[in-house]
Amino acid sequence: MVMEKARDMVHRLKDHNLQSTHLDRLRQLVSAEEQQASLEAEIRQEMANSLGRAATKVDMALLELELIEQEVRQSGKKPTAEQVERYNQQRELALRARLDLRIHREAVGLRNNDGLKLTYPVAEAWREGQALPGS
């Protein structure tokens, strides 16, 4: 409350040519407070941007999995050994990306991560010679 009043007073007297030691001290205090608030806002924005990038990495990894699965389903055959290996490697990348997102969320104070597995589901690993689920 006191800082708000000081800030209002400093802004109100900004264009006045008032010479005052007290006003000078308040200007310094308000300037420092505003700089800190600006820095905090910038940090929050960067944290949000970084979380967005982490979520994008998960979506990209999961899309790659979908593309591999679609390729196999369109062939109408069981996945080849190469496709199984490629899928399982991509699956590991997706799991790691999801874990990285969770860690990132926890680092910025978001502790409730129960919904990540529902939001970013990762299917089971494939096994060579097995048909795809739902085939």
The closest of 47, 58, 52 to 98, measured between CA atoms, is 58
Cβ atoms 79, 132 nearer than 8 A:
yes
pLDDT of residue 5: 80
| CB contact at 8 A, 94 and 65 | yes
User: What's the confidence (pLDDT) of residue 9?
Assistant: 73
Q: List, for residues 72-108, the tens digit of each pLDDT value.
A: 999 999 999 999 999 999 999 999 999 999 999 999 9
Model pLDDT for residues 19-74, shown as the tens digit of each residue: 777 777 777 776 767 777 777 888 889 998 999 999 999 999 999 999 999 999 99
**Which is more confident, 12 or 52?**
52
User: With left for phi above 0 and alpha for psi between -120 and 50, is residue 76 left, alpha or beta?
Assistant: left
> Model's pTM, two decimal places?
0.73
Both tokens assigned to 129: 């010679």
pLDDT of residue 130: 86
Tell me the pLDDT band of 122, cut-offs 50, 70 and 90: very high
Length of the chain: 135
Q: Is 132 left (phi over 0), alpha (psi -120 to 50) or beta?
A: beta
Q: State the pLDDT at residue 69.
A: 95
Structure tokens at 111: 């502790």
Instruction: Give backbone dihedrals phi and psi of 76, rounded to 5 degrees, phi first.
Output: 75, 10
